[in-house]
Every structure is written in structure tokens, then in C-alpha cells.
Amino acid sequence: MPAAGAVEMIHASSLILDDLPCMDNDSLRRGKPSNHIVFGESTSLLAVQALAALAQKMVSTSLEVPSKRVVQAVKEMVGAIERLVVGQAADLAGEGMSYEKDEGLIYLEFIHDHKTTPLVQVSAVLGSIMGGGSDEETERLRSYGKCIGLMYQVVDDVLDANKSSEELGKTAGKDLMSRKLTYPKVMGVEKARKYAEMLNKEAQKQLQGFDLAPLSSLADFIVNRQN
């Protein structure tokens, strides 16, 4: 449970960071004013730092799990956080750049391997480590996490291209305006949709042999969501 709380904190802190004026500069998040609008930039920055630190502490003080596993969990979590931050840096560096079709896809996969999938992956991985999963089981959950993380982003890009701010809960059309690379831009909306469905199939495959209905429905939910 502490690990579950920790990943949610990391997620929240990454969203606060993303919305900052010097980053994506988003004044709206989940239908409400973003953190820095309410509390000011400096407090938000400190909140990001404090949340990440608290998440770290929650995992490292896990009492019911053997130390060896906790150390492994810490390693996975910090690896994920590092990828998140590096992904954001790569995203910033790549904004406005134009890519030939294949290069665009490679770049996009790099970004999302670092920006979107780490948290989802690490959530699944941490659950397995803390719950006593074997190395092989942990790896399958890692693959599951990667698939649904990527899938989430593909669907997100497709939705942004099609919907309004109200339906989304965050500012729509931003990707288009910022000339950021997205899946629809690189492969077209229809192919992007099909890619998402393929990822779902792959995710479900990884779950075979586990009794994990919640994870299976999560994957289905993501591929079918509207906001």
C-alpha cells in the first residue's frame, strides 16, 4: 500500500511540474486551476520536491516487506522518476522540430518510454515486488505496464485532436498549437487508433496465467475512454 501511495504522489508531482509556466504552461488541470495558479510557482516547485521525497520515504520505510525487496523497489522507483524527468527534458528539446515519418515515430516512442510509461510500468512492477512476485512475473507485469502506458498516450493524442476542452478536462488542441509531435501527426488518426487496439491485445496477453481481472479491465477501459 505505501508503494501505491508513493506512485500516486510521483504522478501528482509530475503533473504539477508539467503545468508550470516554464514547462507546458497549463492553467487548467482535471477541470480546475492548476497548482501554481492557486499556490504560486515557487510553492508548487517545492511541492513537487516534497512529494517526491515523501514518496521515497514511504517506500523506503515499508515495514512488512523484506529489505532486499524494498531496496529493489526503491531502485525501480527512482529509475522511473529519472526517466520521467529526462523524458520531459527530451520533450522540451524536441518541441517544434520536424521529423520524417519514421524518425518521428522513433522519437515519439523515446519520449513516451520516458514520459508516459515509466509510472504505469513501475506501478505494476512495484506491486509485484512488494507482493512477492518472482522475477519472471515482475517482467511480465513490466511489459503489461509498458503496453498500457503507451496505449494511454496514443488514446490521449487521438482525443486531443478530436475533442473540446470541456470534455477532456484540460486544454484541448494544445498539442496542435504547440506543434508537438503526436501519434496522429506521425501516423494519422485511424492508424493511431488501431495501434492502441494492438497494444491492448499485447497487454492482455501478458496477463495470461494471472488472476488479474482488475488489470485486464483497466486496459480495456483505457483503450475505450473518452476523456
Partner 1 sequence: MLFSASATPLMSSFFPPPPKKPMRFSGAAIRSSSASNFDLKTYWTTLITEINQKLDEAIPVKSPTGIYEAMRYSVLAQGAKRAPPVMCVAACELFGGDRTAAFPTACALEMVHAASLIHDDLPCMDDDPVRRGKPSNHTVYGANMALLAGDALFPLAFQHIVSHTPPEIVPRATILRVITEIARTVGSTGMAAGQYVDLEGGPFPPSFAHEKKFGSMGECSAVCGGLLGGASDDELHSLRSYGRAVGMLYQVVDADGSESALEMAQELSLKAKKELQVFDKYGDALLVPLYTFVDYAAHPHFLLPL
> Shortest Cβ distance from residue 95 to partner 1 (Å)?
11
CB environment 119-149: b (16+ within 10 A), e (fewer): bbbbbbbbbbbbeebeeeebebbbbbbbbbb
SS3 assignment, position 197: helix
Is residue 82 at the binding interface for partner 1, with CB under 8 A as the rule?
yes
Is residue 50 at the binding interface for partner 1, with CB under 8 A as the rule?
yes
69: Cβ contacts below 8 Å, ≥ 6 apart:
129, 130, 132
**Among residues 85, 105, 189, 212, which is the contact residue for partner 1, using CB under 8 A?**
85
d(CA 144, CA 53): 27
- Residues for the chain: how many in total? 227
d(CA 119, CA 99): 27
**Among residues 61, 98, 134, 164, which is the contact residue for partner 1, using CB under 8 A?**
61
Cα Dmax for the chain? 51
Q: Considering only the stretches 77-85, 126-134, 169-177, 179-187, report the one whose residues sit in contact with partner 1 under the rule CB under 8 A.
A: 77-85
Is residue 88 at the binding interface for partner 1, with CB under 8 A as the rule?
yes
**Among residues 53, 97, 106, 176, which is the contact residue for partner 1, using CB under 8 A?**
53
> Shortest Cβ distance from residue 121 to partner 1 (Å)?
15
What does the binding site for partner 1 look like in residue numbers (CB under 8 A)? 17, 20, 22-23, 40-43, 45-46, 48-50, 52-54, 56-57, 60-61, 67-68, 70-71, 74-75, 77-79, 81-82, 85-86, 88-90, 92-93
